[in-house]
Chains A and B, each alone.
Chain A
Amino acid sequence: MNTEKNKRSYKAQKVIDRMGQKLTRQMVGSLTACVHCGMCTDSCHYVLANPGDPTFAPAYKADKIRKLFKQHYDWTGKVFPKWVKAGSVYTDEELQELKDIVFGKCTNCRRCTVNCPMGVDLATFNRMARGLLCHVGIMPEGVEYVAKEQWEIGNQMGVLKEDYIETVEWQEEELQSEMEDPTAKIPIDKPDSNIVYVINPREIKHDPRSILDAAKIFYAAGEDYTMPSEGWDMTNFGLFNGDDELGGAVAGRVYDKVEELRGKKLVISECGHGYRSTRCEGPNWAKKDITFDAESSVITMLEYIKQGKIKVDKTKNPGSYTFHDSCNNARSCGLTEEPRELLSLVVEDFREMYPNRAENYCCTGGGGAMSMAEYRPSRLKSAKIKADQLAATGTKTVVTSCHNCVDGLTDLIGHYKLGMDVTQLVNLVANALVIDDIVEENKKKYAEKEEVSSGSAQ
């Protein structure tokens, strides 16, 4: 009989056992490389906003996971456990405490990672720890709810297929009205299209303006595109809850639909974690080699302007703007220059925020934090760093290429009473479109057709 095992709760034992299955070389490298130099400490917005509390330090948080690795999976922990601070978990209460660290004290933003001289990637094994806890049902209520919706219904907001289609058709009517073109389409499931366009469910459920804006841009560019009737949710809570199976299932639905439609390119609307999950991590989770190109809609819009497919007038977007880099876009996917280039083309007054690009601070809503209501007070306290950074730009509007950042920034702007607006590139590009000539031409064309048809009817 194993007395060590019997001392441990059922869930604690499952966590230890599963850790052995989830460790990769990258994680083991990170778990063994830390020299406790403290370089990560000053890079973390939680630490900067809580200077007197060492429990927010990345190295401290990492040690809570590292001790398990040392105790159970590393030879050093077996030979001199005290020297390497090996330790274990025994009770469900300890797992709850670990939950509050890996979900509540880290947004997996990876700013500590890019500032670590040893290359320790805390966010990667923090995500693994989240996955271990989720495996035994220990996670924030919001994360559990959303993961269930995404697995069972197919998107994170539980939107039914008929409601999705009704919304797209509604936006198609709006497009026809604005373009004065009754034949303007937002095609659904059109096979062999150049582009399959996938979105964040909040665009369907709560605010479809970005769908209409994207449709206007595609219309003006004369693009051959489609939106899929299924596999249209490019967000992925598998990234947030550390569940590779969920990540693979969600990303796999998108890939399967693009292949079924024989789409040439997958274009992902502005969402940091969605972009990272669908373009970068998804193929590994889904164990699939994707056969088509995938890119952010930021790149698609920029190329349209560069190739002369759409014309924009930056004077249509007056006021001052700054740009907030999404952690997943900038630090994890290197998408830093294209959004700035695009923003400079559609607004007159773009002012850089400091620090920026891979050194930018998290919106504080990253890593699924916006769905973890219980940690909001701590999140907003840590948001002081971001609030100061935003205020220092002296701008009226902050632009970001991430839906999650829109919500995180909106929440902290309200809390710190900054009085700033938040918007996305798709909104600014659509607003800057020079389409008056197209609309006038459509108006004449369809007025003439109406005259002809009414004349022939008489």
Chain B
Amino acid sequence: METTDIKTGNKETFHCEDFLNDIDFWSIDIAEILAKDNKIADGLTADHWKVIMYVREHYLKYERGPEIVKVVKDCGISFKDLCNLFPCGLVRGAYKVAGLPRPHGCI
């Protein structure tokens, strides 16, 4: 994918579907590029960042992404707004832009 070369030139950085392999490799610049690749055309807003930072903190604490109910309630946004913020969904949108590795299972 285009972003792979833009950021590092190192394809090892990315795992399946261009999820980051290593959450620590993530940066604000990478988030912006991943956002553009995932249908967030106009850049990341304060609401995006609220969700992104929540998702990252949850992963760093529990080693797994949060359930969608937690994102909606703890970030104080509606489900509809979350869908609008991340058109690719919670996993392929918010998780990916936040630098989480690709979750296992049927996704």
Contact = CB atoms under 8 A, between A and B. Distances in A.
Interface residues of B, number: 20
B5 interface: no
Interface string A134-167: 0000000110011001000000111100010011
B16 A202 contact: no
A373 interface: yes
Interface string B65-81: 00111101100000100
A227 interface: no
Interface in A165-210: 166-167, 170, 174, 200-202, 204-208
B15 interface: yes
Contacts of A204: 67, 69
A373 to B, nearest CB: 3
A206 B91 contact: yes
Nearest to B72: A170
A322 interface: no
Interface residues of A, number: 33
Interface string A35-60: 00000000000000000000000000
Contacts of A207: 68, 89-90
A376 to B, nearest CB: 5
Interface string B7-29: 00000000111000000000000
A297 interface: no
A376 B106 contact: no
Contact of B90 (A163, A206, A235): A206
Determine chain A's interface SS by DSSP, over half rule. Answer: helix
A205 B67 contact: yes
A349 interface: no
Contacts of B16: 373-374, 376
Given A157-B103, A170-B72, A208-B69, 13 more contacts: A142-B104, A146-B105, A156-B106, A166-B69, A167-B68, A200-B106, A205-B68, A206-B90, A368-B106, A371-B105, A373-B15, A373-B16, A373-B17
Nearest first, the 6 closest Cβ-Cβ pairs linking A and B are A373-B16, A145-B104, A167-B69, A142-B104, A146-B105, A163-B67
Interface of A: 141-142, 145-146, 149, 156-159, 163, 166-167, 170, 174, 200-202, 204-208, 235, 368, 370-371, 373-374, 376, 403-404, 407, 411
